Structure 1
Amino acid sequence: MDFGLSFALQLPRPWTEHSESELFGSALDQVELAEELGFDYAWVLEQHFLEEYSHSSAPEVFLAAASQRTSRIRLGHGIALLPPAYNQPARVAERISTLDLVSGGRVDLGFGDSKSRMELEGFSIEPADRREMTVEAAEQIADMMALEPYPGFTGRFFAMPARNVVPKPVQKPHPPLWMACSDDESVRAAARLGVGALIHTFFDADEAEKVVRDYYDTFRNECVPIGRAVNPAVATMEPFYCHRSATVAHDRGRAAHGFFTYAARHYYAFGRHRPGFTNLADNFRRVEKLVGGDIPVRGGHSIGTPGAVADRLHALEAAGVDQVILLHQVGDLTHEQVADSLRLFAADVLPGFAQDRDRLRPRQEELAPYVRAAFERKSWASAPRRAEVEVCDAYGLSRPDVEMAMLESLPPATREIILDLQKLKAAALQLDP
Structure 2
Amino acid sequence: MPFDGLPDDFKANHRSVWVDISPELQDVKRMHVLFNDYLDELEYAAVKGFDAIGVNEHHSNAYGLMSSPNMMGAALSRRIMDTQAQLLVMGDAVSLYNPPIRVAEELAMLDVMCGGRLITGFPVGSSQDANFAYGVKPASMRAKHREGFDLVLKAWKSKEVFSFNGRFTKLRYVNPWPKPLQNPHPPIWMPGSGSVETMDFAVEMDVPFFLLSYFGANFARGNFEKYWERVELAGRDRNPHRAGMVQLVMVADTDAEAKKLYEKHVQYFYQRCTHIYPGFTEAPGYKTVRSLKDVLPAKGSAVKSRPDSFAAAQKYSWEELIEQGIVIGGSPDTVRERLEAAAKESSIGNWILLMHIGSMPRELAMHNIDMFTEKVMPSLSSVFSESPHNWWPKPVEGFESAQVDPVARSVRR
Q: Distance in 2 between matches of 1:268 and 1:22?
A: 28
Identity %: 24
Conservation of the 8 A alpha-carbon contact between 1:9 and 1:24: no
Q: Distance in 1 between matches of 2:384 and 2:116?
A: 18
Tell me which residue corresponds to 1:382.
none
Are residues 1:198 and 2:210 paired? yes
Q: Distance in 1 between matches of 2:245 and 2:186?
A: 20
Instruction: State the Cα distance separating 1:55 from its structure 2 match.
Output: 0.6
Conservation of the 8 A alpha-carbon contact between 2:124 and 2:141: yes
Give the TM-score of the pair, scaled to structure 2. Answer: 0.72
Q: Which has the higher helix share?
A: 1
Conservation of the 8 A alpha-carbon contact between 1:11 and 1:53: no
Are residues 1:349 and 2:360 paired? no
Residue number among 241, 244, 255 corresponding to 1:246 in the alignment: 255
| Distance change >3 Å, CA 268–CA 42, structure 1 → 2 | farther
Are residues 1:68 and 2:78 paired? yes
Deviations 1:246-267 (A, max 9, x none): 2231254343233333456434
The answer for unaligned runs of 5 or more in structure 2 is 8-25, 282-310, 391-413
Paired letter, 2:75:
A
| Distance change >3 Å, CA 70–CA 234, structure 1 → 2 | same
Conservation of the 8 A alpha-carbon contact between 2:2 and 2:359: no
Are residues 1:151 and 2:162 paired? yes
Are residues 1:326 and 2:353 paired? yes
Conservation of the 8 A alpha-carbon contact between 1:241 and 1:303: yes
Q: Distance in 1 between matches of 2:230 and 2:106?
A: 29
Tell me which residue corresponds to 1:304.
330
Conservation of the 8 A alpha-carbon contact between 1:246 and 1:304: yes
Report 1:376-391 matches (<5 A).
none
Paired letter, 1:70:
I
Report 1:156-195 matches (<5 A).
156-183=167-194, 185=196, 186-195=198-207
Structure with the bigger RCO (C-alpha within 8 Å, sep 6+) is: 2
Report 1:179-328 matches (<5 A).
179-183=190-194, 185=196, 186-199=198-211, 200=213, 201-203=216-218, 207=222, 210-211=225-226, 213-214=228-229, 216-220=231-235, 233-263=242-272, 265-267=274-276, 269=278, 297=321, 299-319=325-345, 320-328=347-355
Give RMSD over aligned pairs: 3.2
Tell me which residue corresponds to 1:38.
49
Q: Distance in 2 between matches of 1:221 and 1:352?
A: 29
| Distance change >3 Å, CA 348–CA 219, structure 1 → 2 | farther
Instruction: State the Cα distance separating 1:109 from its structure 2 match.
Output: 1.1
| Distance change >3 Å, CA 291–CA 171, structure 1 → 2 | closer
Deviations 1:63-109 (A, max 9, x none): 111111112211111021111x4352111011000000000011111
Are residues 1:98 and 2:98 paired? no
Kindly tell me the number of residue pairs found equivalent between the two proteins.
Answer: 332
Q: Which moved more, 1:11-20 or 1:291-300?
A: 291-300
Conservation of the 8 A alpha-carbon contact between 1:11 and 1:331: yes
Q: Distance in 1 between matches of 2:236 and 2:379?
A: 34
Q: Distance in 2 between matches of 1:154 and 1:352?
A: 51
Deviations 1:143-189 (A, max 9, x none): 11111224222222222123321110101111111122212513233
Give the TM-score of the pair, scaled to structure 1. Answer: 0.68
Paired letter, 1:23:
L
Q: Distance in 2 between matches of 1:267 and 1:56?
A: 18
Instruction: State the Cα distance separating 1:207 from its structure 2 match.
Output: 4.0
